[in-house]
Structure 1
């Protein structure tokens, strides 16, 4: 059977949507009989990213060449634009090896929020990185439209899924009567828009990140639960009255469909990612400016209808799309 080599700077023990996506895809590929090698930071010497210690970055990435040659793959996919991704890209171009890539996030907007670096600079770098790939996977139609407008080429739609054995609805859903956020506690997630929002309902935050301790001190009335996963996380989703997604820089948000799968309506801003998933009045509500108004409307949604909108998102479809985007190098 064919061998796929995945080069990624995002891998376990990191906790984020990219890691969930790539670990799940690798599992699905192996179930289908593919051999899969993953080159990730854990195979190198690493250092914690400044101001983001949860993420480790490989520094002796010059060893990547030997690992690629040892793998001898039929296909190469470069997942993230980090040191390993950059080195892998250079190797492929130097040896005239075709490869596929993926844009998981709005990287330019992330960098702007954290370091105030101009969008034109980072968009240019991102375009330089991905336009040399034969195919570049993107998460949603709205993000694809934005990227095409910015000059990105050869874009292929790549959806996401959820674990149906873990995330499912309950007839007593919403009994916790709280508003829920799940994700990184970081400036680029715009989470403070949720934390400062006026509401009579309790707020619950699941996840960690560089702003966690600061926000714990500032918003003492909010329950910060730290990282949760599996059935424990699913129960938290199910008991929430509404899932609130304040981010304006995500391209999809797996947490959105996990919430829907548990029957919990979504409230967020009318931006790329949420607007590809949320159906107004059916599974939640979006607002261009006022998150509180979106929450008010989402709370009125019939929870029995919410689950229906999640059923089209499966990891099998996502795996099919990933396989179709691969380019043979032999």
Structure 2
């Protein structure tokens, strides 16, 4: 099956959406699915207001159509609700092509903490976006139930996986820091709620791996915290494996792939009992959930690192890819994009 995935999140961004899509592509190949991506690459872009360092594409309707036609997909999936996602959605609706979407980011909450736009308004826009899809894929049951309660229709599941060859406990970084080491990883931005972790009174050392618009501010405010910057590949794995507890303070993620990556490195997780952690960690002996994040951090120290690793080994990207492909199999367009005309019109992002 030839699959085209439209995404606004792409390299050089380092986030869960990008890691999920690239992992999906690798795992889908052996299953007989060829995945191509329609990304912001090649389009003019501008910096997203209130979000320094994050750029969004200024799409062109004719170019979007040309790229879809060149890919000639048998199935189209829209992974994000940015300009690229809206443009591909509009193309499919104009030409009667079935498509699926996935709900991967809590944009209403992200926007609410950065602007005066109420979350209810953002949810209305996203409901309009996703309810045109044949299926909207979500990663966990708690998010499924929440979105269903908000009027999202035709929901389906697409779970996540972890690369247990890359993420492993075998070669931890040699961190000359007082133990225990409590570590968080990800974009250092307000919506990740990192300060809830940094403000805790914990023994040992607090470590942040990642970069983002809040890094300078938080580094100045919390001089005892070690900010190590962005890590990739084996270096990232080594740092996750070196931590005693991985702390996931986010209240807005829809899953949090990094939880599985930490577990694959043998590192237990401490988090709030919210969507994502309550579905991944639940009552498994691989971490601790508590509205008191400090209490969760201290309890997580007692969890077996071997049990964490074994839990991750059962959650492969191959199974995730098989579920994703299954959601598309019955939804292939009734005609090829090459059979529909390309309409010349610039800068369309809605529809």
TM-score range, shorter chain: over 0.9
Whether contact under 8 Å (2:241, 2:262) holds in the other structure is: yes
- Quick one: structure 1 residues 43 and 140, their matched pair in 2 at CA, closer, same or farther if it must change by over 3 Å? same
Deviations 1:137-177 (A, max 9, x none): 10111111111111111111111111111212359899863
Q: Is 1:111 aligned to 2:114, yes or no?
A: no
Question: Matched residue of 1:136: which SS?
Answer: strand
1:312 pairs with one of 311, 314, 317: 314
Q: Which has the higher contact order (CA 8 A, sep 6+)?
A: 2
Number of the residue aligned with 2:297: 295
Number of the residue aligned with 2:203: 200
- Give the CA deviation at 1:308: 2.3
Number of the residue aligned with 1:168: 168
Number of the residue aligned with 1:89: 89
Whether contact under 8 Å (1:51, 1:210) holds in the other structure is: no
Q: How many residues align?
A: 328
Question: Matched residue of 1:236: which SS?
Answer: helix
5+ long unaligned stretches in structure 1: none
Partners of 1:51 and 1:150 in 2: CA distance: 27
- Give the CA deviation at 1:281: 6.5
Number of the residue aligned with 2:129: 129
- What are the residue-to-residue correspondences of 1:237-316 with 2, within 5 Å? 237-280=240-283, 282-288=285-291, 290-316=292-318
1:328 pairs with one of 327, 332, 336: 332
Instruction: Kindly report the root-mean-square deviation, in angstroms, between the aligned alpha carbons of the 2 structures.
Output: 1.9
- What are the residue-to-residue correspondences of 1:12-31 with 2, within 5 Å? 12-31=11-30
Whether contact under 8 Å (1:105, 1:251) holds in the other structure is: yes
Question: Matched residue of 2:54: which SS?
Answer: strand
Partners of 1:179 and 1:74 in 2: CA distance: 46
- Give the CA deviation at 1:276: 0.6
Question: Matched residue of 1:38: which SS?
Answer: strand
Partners of 1:210 and 1:61 in 2: CA distance: 29
Number of the residue aligned with 1:10: 9
Q: TM-score, normalised by structure 1?
A: 0.94
Which region of structure 1 is more displaced relative to structure 2, 129-138 or 24-33? 24-33
Question: Matched residue of 2:229: which SS?
Answer: coil
Partners of 2:59 and 2:152 in 1: CA distance: 30
Partners of 2:240 and 2:165 in 1: CA distance: 14
Number of the residue aligned with 2:343: none
5+ long unaligned stretches in structure 2: 335-351
Deviations 1:156-204 (A, max 9, x none): 1111111111212359899863100011111111100011111122111
